[in-house]
Structure 1
Amino acid sequence: MTMPPKISVIIINYNYGRFLGDAIESVLAQDFAGEMEVLVVDDGSTDNSAELVKPYLDRVKWLPKTNGGQVSAFNHAMRHATGEWVGLLEADDTWDKNKLAKTFKRLEREQDASLIQHWLLQSDSKLRPLDGYIYPKGPEHFNFDDTLIGLPYGGTSCIVFNRARLAAMPPMPEDMLYGADICLRWAAAAVKPIANIPEVLGKRRLHGANLFGRTLYDDPAKITAAIAFHTALLNYLASVVRTTGTAPSPASLAHIARERAQMDIFHHRYSGRSRQAFSAWLKLARLLPAAPGSLFKIFSTLLIVVSPRAYIKLQGLYSKLLLIKAKKNG
């Protein structure tokens, strides 16, 4: 068996000192025969992260920097990374000990892959599994349009990518603050489908400090930030399309437009602009495909114009019903 190529593992930390040891230990415990370097980039933490990392400094490289966000931290670490492959791990997550071994075993039969990922077990702050999550048995690949509609999303900590094969991609703008994982998936899939290992090979820790997306629509400030982030992502997507010549399908573009229209409904409604909220709802309704579920979507999102809180409650109930159905069928 050929020795695996060298991998640089980048652990991105900001004020997660209480979790950092678990992340580092999970990397150092890898059942992996290849060469590995571990880079811990600290994005200007104000907690005791610098103190807690000291016992590991003989095995990891500590890269402190001023606070600039996830993308800035990623770019900083990449300037120090020397591996042919790069694996990403958020400081509050962990890897299973066979993650790298299974990743490179898959890459033995798919040697031209640019990016490979897997599922993450959704866990609480103590890494206990959370109920309510389904981990599909497939697929083995995701194409460019899949990434644009969010199908392969598994977070940052499941990504391993080939740095040389993505070197020609546009640089990620550091004013985005976060979203490095999304940009990497788009850039990789625009050239070649993403390889997916449909297994749980790590744990994503859900806790009070990282539940941005789960509480997005009930916070006007987060909606405003999400719209700015969405705009920055679309600008990056445009640069990927220009670089690769790979264009999104009309269905993917419509999906992106629907996401933005729904954010706009909330944004206008929270700002007291009911007329503009209604106009955004009309745009969303026109963008929905002729499908059985579209009628429900049209009328349920109209509820946002009347009462955003009522819509959030309805959506929560609907999600629970879908989960019950999925468990019953699977």
Structure 2
Amino acid sequence: MRGSRPSSLAILLICFNHAKYIQRALDSITAQLFGGEIEVIVADDGSTDETVDIIARWAQLNPRFRYSQLARQPNMGITRNYARGFAACLQHDYVAVLEGDDYWIHPRKLALQVEFLEEHLECNLCSANYYVFKEDEESLSARVPVGGGYSLLDVRSLIADNVVGNFSTCVYRREVLQTLNPRLFELKAYDWIINICAARGSFIGFLNTPMSIYRLHGGGAWSATTTRKKLEDQRDALEDYDRITDGIYCADFLLLRERLDRSIEHLGENDKLLIGDLATKVALGRDFKSRPRHLLNLCPPIVLIVARLLVPPAVVQQLKKLWHRTK
């Protein structure tokens, strides 16, 4: 609540040729239980399929939402489209984002995130756990272990590991969007650097309950990119990101650059990881000390069983002490 009135909320619906997926996204908006005013603001980036027509039909059938669509124009790219989308939302107290190929799975996602922000003034944005859906494999996996409660993320933890992961998990205070440096949108600025800038001087609230689906499919700008290209693009952007954050996090970006370089070295010619999922974990900021665990997992179970039977308990205890000292 803002004073005596319910909070108003904008849902920024970002889309580009999402006709195959957009109805699922719209249905997840319809399912939201929220006591305040909601306006759905559509920022379509020059779709050439039926995306905009599907959204317009949905809007006619759902008059409980205010609805507006930004002027249609040729494709401008995701970063510029976000810039105009955020600017159009600033008359509302809070701004949620939903990309047209993602969808929400918790009917109180928006209500819970707004309630969290109204109770936690130390946070400028609230994110939530989500499931990654790999369309080609038809697999679902939670970004972090499913649970209750929340955690607070700061900028340095977000640099090390982009737990927030995508815009569709986020609800922002209007005020923090107003303070974003316009130069951000001159870069290739996805959710990661925008959230780094939004969290400066505050925390990000991260709810541990999964509330959305992040879809990976061949038509997605990011998911269609090879692993090597993703890592190289992330590494090559760090200098600009360091500059736009005034060099305050230089050491953190340098450490991440080293990890990304190592990750790229561990990619084979076919863009597959040479040592399990080592490159992914390093890119997320985990230390190389996790490597022994991966190597241990390569042992057949029967070898581990026999080893436990043959190795004296005293030796096991010494090995455990040595393991913990090296962690």
Give the alignment's TM-score, normalised by structure 1. Answer: 0.70
- Which residue is equivalent to 2:172? 161
- Which residue is equivalent to 1:324? none
**CA-CA distance at 1:132 after TM superposition:** 7.3
> Cα gap change, 1:132/1:186 in structure 2, threshold over 3 Å: closer, same or farther?
closer
Letter in 2 for 1:146: S
> Cα gap change, 1:122/1:288 in structure 2, threshold over 3 Å: closer, same or farther?
closer
CA distance in 2, matches of 1:224, 1:123: 21
Matches within 5 A, 1:166-181: 166-174=177-185, 176-177=187-188, 179-181=189-191
**CA-CA distance at 1:215 after TM superposition:** 6.3
- Which residue is equivalent to 2:97? 88
- Which residue is equivalent to 2:237? 232
CA distance in 1, matches of 2:150, 2:59: 39
- Which residue is equivalent to 2:145? 135
**Consecutive unaligned residues in structure 1, runs of 5 or more:** 218-222, 271-283, 301-316, 322-330
Task: Please tell me whether the aligned partners of residues 121 and 129 of structure 1 are also in contact (alpha carbons under 8 angstroms).
Answer: no
Task: Please tell me whether the aligned partners of residues 184 and 194 of structure 2 are also in contact (alpha carbons under 8 angstroms).
Answer: no
- Which residue is equivalent to 1:62? 69
CA distance in 2, matches of 1:124, 1:253: 31
- Which residue is equivalent to 1:277? none
| Residues 83-92 or 117-126, more deviating | 117-126
Task: Name which one, 1 or 2, has greater alpha-carbon Rg.
Answer: 2
- Which residue, 163, 166, 171 being the options, matches 1:152? 163
Task: Please tell me whether the aligned partners of residues 145 and 252 of structure 1 are also in contact (alpha carbons under 8 angstroms).
Answer: no
Runs of 4+ aligned structure 1 residues displaced above 6 Å come to none
Task: Please tell me whether the aligned partners of residues 68 and 174 of structure 1 are also in contact (alpha carbons under 8 angstroms).
Answer: no
**CA-CA distance at 1:78 after TM superposition:** 2.0
Letter in 1 for 2:100: A
- Which residue, 8, 11, 18 being the options, matches 2:13? 11
CA distance in 1, matches of 2:143, 2:204: 22
Deviations 1:38-66 (A, max 9, x none): 11111111212122222134442222232
**CA-CA distance at 1:226 after TM superposition:** 5.2
- Which residue is equivalent to 2:113? 103
**CA-CA distance at 1:110 after TM superposition:** 0.5
Task: Please tell me whether the aligned partners of residues 133 and 213 of structure 2 are also in contact (alpha carbons under 8 angstroms).
Answer: yes
CA distance in 1, matches of 2:57, 2:286: 54
2:80 matched to 1:72? yes
Identity %: 21
The size of the alignment, in residue pairs, is 275
> Cα gap change, 1:93/1:153 in structure 2, threshold over 3 Å: closer, same or farther?
same
SS in 1 for 2:219: helix
> Cα gap change, 1:262/1:214 in structure 2, threshold over 3 Å: closer, same or farther?
farther
> Cα gap change, 1:255/1:32 in structure 2, threshold over 3 Å: closer, same or farther?
same
**CA-CA distance at 1:237 after TM superposition:** 3.4
CA RMSD of aligned residues (A): 3.7
- Which residue is equivalent to 1:311? none
**CA-CA distance at 1:76 after TM superposition:** 1.5
SS in 1 for 2:175: coil
Letter in 2 for 1:40: V
> Cα gap change, 1:142/1:125 in structure 2, threshold over 3 Å: closer, same or farther?
same
Letter in 1 for 2:239: L
- Which residue is equivalent to 1:51? 53
**Consecutive unaligned residues in structure 2, runs of 5 or more:** 61-65, 271-281, 302-327
Matches within 5 A, 1:120-131: 120-123=130-133, 130=140
Letter in 2 for 1:259: L
Deviations 1:211-262 (A, max 9, x none): 8458623xxxxx45753454235303321235xxx435x4553123321453
SS in 1 for 2:80: helix
Letter in 2 for 1:254: L
CA distance in 2, matches of 1:213, 1:296: 28
SS in 2 for 1:208: coil
Deviations 1:247-286 (A, max 9, x none): 35x455312332145337769x79xxxxxxxxxxxxx9xx
- Which residue, 19, 25, 32 being the options, matches 2:34? 32
SS in 2 for 1:292: helix
Task: Please tell me whether the aligned partners of residues 14 and 42 of structure 1 are also in contact (alpha carbons under 8 angstroms).
Answer: yes
- Which residue is equivalent to 2:276? none
Give the alignment's TM-score, normalised by structure 2. Answer: 0.70
CA distance in 2, matches of 1:153, 1:161: 13
